[in-house]
Structure 1
Amino acid sequence: MSARVVVALGDELRGRVLAGADLDRLAAAADVVVSLDPAELTAADVCVTGWDTPPLPPSSYADGARLRLVAHTGGSVRYLIPAAALDRGVRVTQVAAVLAEAVAEFAVMSIIAGLRDSVGFATALRASEPWADLAARPPGRLLRDRTVGIVGASRTGRATLHRLRPFGCRCLVYDPFLDKADAAALGAEPVDLQRLLRDSDVVSLHAPVLPATRGMIGAAQVAALRPGALVVNTARSALVDGVALLAAARAGRVRVVTDVFDAEPLPVDDPWRRADGVVATPHIAALTADTLREQGAVTVDEVLRFLAGRPLEHEITRAAYDTAA
């Protein structure tokens, strides 16, 4: 009997992530059902999930249930499936490695754009500010001559460091799980968080949200940032005291580029939308047409490996689950 694969994605996300050819590849190897019905999830051997998939019902991973693999087309899985499911033998795979490439590119773009104040110049030009006044604005700074602090040597943090190397900037990294040899291989100097905040011209956040990292950039840490520092957050808003960071941006002490917020969608009257010193984007750091299709293709590749009894390439092990995003 063929394995039963339930594609638990809404119509819109499924259309963006899974190409017809990828669905055909699945259908050639398994009995494929497209459904968000909890009853269907409970009867699945494999679930393909996404950002719009609700948490899996406990019946799907209870003792005696059929579920053997959750193949997630996104990155974060903790909201979707609990550690107890992995303890009962359910395997989990995701595409954080795919998303990391897109987010790292966006982070480097944000760093360069922030250092050069390209959004500020473009906004002033659109508002008809006189050309001479624009020329008299404070000039931007070269990335080459800056110190960039990376908070979190996650996949995205590492991919960002890789992309920064050709620019010749000095890189610091804070991650309690990273040793000196690994940091050196990434072209970065390992430091504690306080020194990173104090010495960096740019601070880019790439840590997962865990009990130990939630609020790790609090009011005291915001105050420790050097005047004029640029803070880039493409990770999660829960890492930062948003009130303190926003106040520092409004006071002109720091500048901020952020793609993540405590409330999403961001309310129309939220001060993050229009605060001076802030460039805000609507959680799109990982969102490219190329990335979406790659998410689907890599997920299907993983399901086919699993069905063929081959090793998975993007599995979240039980040990890794506790520190995963």
Structure 2
Amino acid sequence: MTPAAVERGERVAVLMSTGLIERIFSARDRSRLRAAGAVRLPAVDAIGLPDLTAIGPETEVVVTGWDSPALAVEILDHAPKLRLIAHTGGSIRAIVPAEVYDRGVAVTTVSAVLADAVAEFTAMAMIAGLRRATLLHERMRRGDDWESLAAEAPGRLLRAQTVGLVGASRVGRAVIGLLAGFGCRVLVSDPFLTPDDASQLGVELVTFHNLLTLSDVVSLHAPVLPETRRMIGAAELARMRDGALLINTARAALLDASAVLNAVRSGRLSAVLDVFDQEPLPPDSPWRHLENAMVTPHIAALTVETLRAQGEAVVDEIERFRAGESLVGEISREMYDRIA
């Protein structure tokens, strides 16, 4: 932060690239953000990336996004007045160190806003995967014979499938709500979900291994923790039914990528993947060339409406913070250890 900026007493530091700021914050919400405190907006370096020097001795609120750098403890040492970190995305652990809680800093995210978009994408992925929509589309584009394509084995009806959800997170619960309209059997594996909660959600609570064995569709909605990292590898894939569909809109680290690639390449399983260990996915990645895999560039949460809702929700939280009200999306220290 420049000396002039410090003198202005800027209290809200926005650590997001110019492009992301423009996508998330409407003109109205930018005005609301400025009204909440003197703002350094946008806070970017010479090449347009988030600039940590925006955080200074007068900073009370830090706003972060998907492209924000990690908030090193050394940086936070320069912000003794910091009291709130408001994240415009869902996952915070790669950006916010746990030490902020020892400093009395509150942390909030808009993960609830993102949940509906990811859940809708997941439902689409289930239907597209079961009906082989992308494969048929590509083969139509390349001119394959109409009658031959129509004569192949038909797709499958979502209503008739057993769907297994790994994790009753916000997204997982939103998916459950959408699946209720289809009438399919829904299994859930989550160590934090009680039988009573499962009953209220209208799902069957099962062990992880039973979920893999019984499900026609397996969709991941778990955080990356030591016990969930690479939770699906060769042994787990072997438990899955022949022809099962695997969907991952959560985190790439939940999968052993090479094991999943081998299973999909063999034709025994199909997959819809939105997240990868290496992003962007290289042009020569084998995932780009598998007929029974639908791949997307980490966009499950991205809709025009969702992006604007993220900005609005973050400004709402900052206004609540200023008014001394409870935060809607607050992440407590206890929650921090078991979220994405």
Q: TM-score if structure 1 supplies the norm length?
A: 0.97
Q: Note the 1:109-258 alignment, pairs <5 A.
A: 109-258=124-273
Partner of 1:18: 25
User: Does 1:278 find its partner at 2:300?
Assistant: no
User: Does 1:38 find its partner at 2:52?
Assistant: yes
With over 3 angstroms needed to count, the CA separation of the structure-2 counterparts of 1:276 and 1:67, relative to structure 1, is same
Partner of 2:4: none
Partner of 1:50: 65
Partner of 2:77: 62
Alpha-carbon contact 1:42-1:66 (below 8 Å) kept: no
Residue identity (%)? 53
Write the distance in 1 (CA, Å) between the matches of 2:9 and 2:51.
20
Write the distance in 1 (CA, Å) between the matches of 2:79 and 2:266.
59
Alpha-carbon contact 1:6-1:40 (below 8 Å) kept: yes
Q: Deviations over 1:235-288 (max 9, x none)?
A: 111101111111111111011010011100001111111123111111110011
Partner SS, residue 55 of structure 2: helix
Question: Offset at 1:64?
Answer: 7.3
Q: Deviations over 1:128-184 (max 9, x none)?
A: 111110111110111111100000111111111110011000000000111111111
Q: Structure 1: which 5+ residue stretches go unaligned?
A: none
Q: Deviations over 1:96-147 (max 9, x none)?
A: 1111110000000000111111111111111111111011111011111110
Higher deviation after alignment, 13-22 or 34-43? 34-43
Write the distance in 2 (CA, Å) between the matches of 1:199 and 1:37.
49
Question: Offset at 1:61?
Answer: 3.3
Runs of 4+ in structure 1 displaced over 3 angstroms?
59-64
Partner SS, residue 141 of structure 1: coil
Partner of 2:325: 310
Question: Which amino acid in 1 is paired with 2:221?
Answer: H
Higher deviation after alignment, 114-123 or 310-319? 114-123
Q: Deviations over 1:30-67 (max 9, x none)?
A: 11112244333133100111111111232443397111
Question: Which amino acid in 2 is paired with 1:9?
Answer: M
With over 3 angstroms needed to count, the CA separation of the structure-2 counterparts of 1:28 and 1:298, relative to structure 1, is same
Q: Deviations over 1:174-223 (max 9, x none)?
A: 00111111111111100001110000000001001111100111110011
Question: Offset at 1:324?
Answer: 1.2
Write the distance in 1 (CA, Å) between the matches of 2:61 and 2:122.
34
Partner SS, residue 42 of structure 1: coil
Q: CA RMSD in A?
A: 1.5
Of the three residues 100, 105, 108, the one matched with 1:93 is 108
With over 3 angstroms needed to count, the CA separation of the structure-2 counterparts of 1:38 and 1:135, relative to structure 1, is closer
Question: Offset at 1:3?
Answer: 7.3
Higher deviation after alignment, 104-113 or 18-27? 18-27
User: Does 1:6 find its partner at 2:13?
Assistant: yes
Write the distance in 2 (CA, Å) between the matches of 1:87 and 1:249.
45
With over 3 angstroms needed to count, the CA separation of the structure-2 counterparts of 1:2 and 1:309, relative to structure 1, is farther
Q: Structure 2: which 5+ residue stretches go unaligned?
A: 1-7, 44-49
Alpha-carbon contact 1:59-1:65 (below 8 Å) kept: no
Partner SS, residue 315 of structure 1: coil
Question: Offset at 1:2?
Answer: 7.9
Partner of 2:47: none
Alpha-carbon contact 1:6-1:46 (below 8 Å) kept: yes
Question: Which amino acid in 2 is paired with 1:194?
Answer: H
